[in-house]
């Protein structure tokens, strides 16, 4: 049987037997294998699917392992004591082994709505699944990209391909299943996913999959800020932030996620603030590459710094008597509340983000006991890193950054000497620049 999708004709399914593909059980997490085997022994079809299969076929280490099965969520729940049903977007089972969670989803049928629209609330307020269960084939066709719809069958270790995913995988092509525009309208987050996978895998987005993205960015305005926050973290904290950022701007999706930042970028002078944001992305990628922790607070601090700084400057100029820190505080609040309309920023990240900003002017004061006290501050490290970033992009004095680099690394005698020699900074350059005007025009 052949299915016509767009102008493609696809024969289905293609089964790639074990000797003809590279997926070996050695590379699959033991826990995922346990789940697959137990489902199989209980008489249920069970497959590894999604990013796990895709990444294994590409010789990459999967981030996590997702399983698709014919068993209903309740049947899965009954098979695994260590499981629970979750229903954020649709009902599925999470099987927990220590830190590892294996997500087990029941085959879903043809459903046209976006994942989000399928939320239905019961009388008790519980979120319920509104879509019907389906067959393996239907499950394949409702997935996003062909390379994400490959199934590893635990029955015979073959790979099952309904959508031409194997060919696309070999060619390095990211192709939407079905009619791209319709699929983006169903769920606009798929546009962000396209960018994320293209950046992560170095794949080319197929022309027909790419074309509608330029026009449909505005659809992201209808997605909940909390879902977009989650997606933002996946976009920027997966080790490919630089490429992702460039693609997001290319497809004009970045402005939907960070409109204030995009506006600031459009006013750039001498590559600032583009340099600051790009460097923050580079740093993040480098840290991830060597296994260092990264925090959304720092990323958001970099993304939202320039619009906040500009706003604070305007406020400081407009209101006589307002100190820089007061202006910064007010501007930060405004930035956070504006940004929250696009992507939410949980308090546990916005609070440290604002601390990083506020610490910037404290880092300018290098006399007395303050610098030594600052070294002990829990936010010192992140604030210092942020100062480096500003210095590298030309927005803060390089000398100041170098001073702190030396100061924290030297012995206490040297530190005291450095404190003696340090220039006394009462007001920062930034604060001096905008001359305060008396409201009555005095001095004119």
Binders of Mg ion among 35-94, rule CB under 5 A?
51, 64
The answer to the question of residue 77 lying near ligand ATP (CB under 6 A) is no
What is the closest distance, in whole angstroms, from the C-beta atom of residue 58 to ligand ATP in the complex? 11
In three-state form (DSSP H/G/I as H, E/B as E, the rest C), the secondary structure along the chain is: CEEEECCEEEECCEEECHHHCCCCHHHCCHHHHHHHHHHHHCCCCEEEECHHHHHHHCCCCCCCCEEEECCCHHHHHHHCCCEEEECCCCCEEEEEECCEEEEEEECECCCCCCCHHHCEECCCCCEECCCCECCHHHHHHCCCEHHHCEEEECCCCCEEECCCHHHHHHHCEECECCCHHHHHHHCCHHHHHHHHHHHHHCCEECHHHHCCHHHHHHHHHHCCHHHHHHHHHHHHCCCCHHHHHHHHHHCCCHHHHCHHHHHHHHCCECCECHHHHHHHHHHHHHHHHCCCCCCHHHHHHHHHHHHHHHHHHHHHHHCCCCCHHHHHHHHHHHHHHHHCCCCCCCHHHHHHHHHHHHHHHHCCCCCCCHHHHHHHCCCHHHHHHHHHHHHHCCCCCHHHHHHHHHHHHCCHHHHHHHHHHCCCCCCCHHHHCCCCCCCCCCCC
Q: Stretches 9-17, 30-38, 141-149, 375-383: which one binds ligand ATP (CB under 6 A)?
A: 141-149
CB closer to ligand ATP, 187 vs 316: 187
The answer to the question of residue 397 lying near Mg ion (CB under 5 A) is no
Position among 187, 210, 285, 364 found at the interface with ligand ATP (CB under 6 A): 187
Give catalytic residues, as residue numbers: 64, 66, 144
CB closer to ligand ATP, 35 vs 189: 189
The answer to the question of residue 64 lying near ligand ATP (CB under 6 A) is yes
The answer to the question of residue 115 lying near ligand ATP (CB under 6 A) is yes
Residue 168 interacts, among Mg ion, ligand ATP, none and using kind-specific CB cut-offs from 5 to 8 Å, with none
Binders of ligand ATP among 2-61, rule CB under 6 A?
50-51
The answer to the question of residue 129 lying near ligand ATP (CB under 6 A) is no
What is the closest distance, in whole angstroms, from the C-beta atom of residue 125 to ligand ATP in the complex? 24
What is the closest distance, in whole angstroms, from the C-beta atom of residue 154 to ligand ATP in the complex? 17
Binders of ligand ATP among 147-166, rule CB under 6 A?
148-149
CB closer to Mg ion, 28 vs 303: 28
CB closer to ligand ATP, 217 vs 273: 217
Position among 95, 144, 146, 209 found at the interface with ligand ATP (CB under 6 A): 144
Q: Which residues bind Mg ion (CB under 5 A)?
A: 51, 64
Q: Which residues bind ligand ATP (CB under 6 A)?
A: 50-51, 63-64, 66, 115, 143-144, 148-149, 187, 189-190
């Amino acid at each position: 049987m052949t299915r016509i999708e767009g102008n493609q004709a696809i024969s289905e399914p293609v089964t790639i037997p074990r000797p003809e593909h590279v997926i070996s059980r050695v590379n699959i997490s033991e826990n995922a294998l346990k789940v697959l085997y137990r489902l199989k022994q209980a008489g249920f079809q069970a497959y590894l699917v999604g990013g796990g299969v895709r990444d294994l076929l590409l010789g990459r280490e999967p981030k996590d392992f997702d399983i698709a099965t014919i068993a209903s969520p309740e049947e899965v729940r009954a098979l695994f004591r260590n499981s629970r049903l979750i229903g954020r977007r649709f009902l599925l089972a999470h099987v927990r082994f220590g830190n590892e969670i294996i997500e087990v989803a029941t085959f879903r049928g043809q459903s046209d709505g976006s994942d989000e629209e399928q939320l239905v609330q019961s009388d008790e307020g519980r979120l319920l699944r509104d879509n019907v269960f389906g067959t393996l084939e239907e499950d394949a066709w409702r997935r996003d990209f062909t390379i994400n719809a490959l199934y590893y069958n635990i029955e015979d270790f073959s790979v099952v391909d309904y959508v031409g995913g194997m060919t696309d995988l070999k060619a390095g092509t990211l192709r939407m299943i079905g009619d791209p525009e319709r699929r983006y309208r169903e769920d606009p987050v798929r546009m962000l996913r396209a960018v994320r996978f293209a950046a992560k895998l170095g794949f080319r987005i197929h022309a027909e999959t790419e074309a509608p993205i330029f026009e449909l960015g505005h659809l992201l305005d209808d997605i909940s800020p909390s879902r977009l926050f989650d997606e933002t973290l996946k976009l920027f904290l997966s080790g490919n932030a630089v490429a992702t950022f460039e693609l997001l701007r290319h497809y004009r999706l970045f402005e939907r996620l960070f409109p204030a930042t995009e506006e600031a970028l459009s006013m750039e002078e001498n590559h600032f603030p583009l340099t600051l944001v790009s460097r923050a992305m580079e740093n993040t990628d480098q840290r991830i590459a060597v296994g260092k922790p990264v925090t959304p607070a720092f990323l958001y601090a970099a993304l939202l710094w320039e619009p906040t700084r500009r706003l604070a400057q305007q406020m400081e100029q407009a209101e006589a008597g307002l100190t820089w820190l007061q202006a910064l505080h007010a501007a930060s609040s405004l930035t956070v509340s504006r940004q929250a309309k696009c992507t939410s920023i949980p308090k546990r990240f916005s609070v440290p983000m604002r601390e990083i900003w506020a610490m910037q002017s404290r880092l300018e004061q290098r006399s007395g006991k303050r610098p030594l006290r600052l070294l002990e501050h829990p936010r010192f490290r992140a604030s210092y890193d942020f100062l480096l970033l500003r210095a590298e992009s030309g927005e803060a004095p390089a000398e100041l950054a170098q001073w702190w680099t030396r100061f924290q690394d030297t012995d206490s005698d040297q530190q005291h000497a450095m404190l003696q020699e340090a220039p006394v900074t009462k007001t920062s350059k930034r604060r001096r620049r905008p001359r305060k005007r008396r409201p009555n025009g005095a001095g004119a």
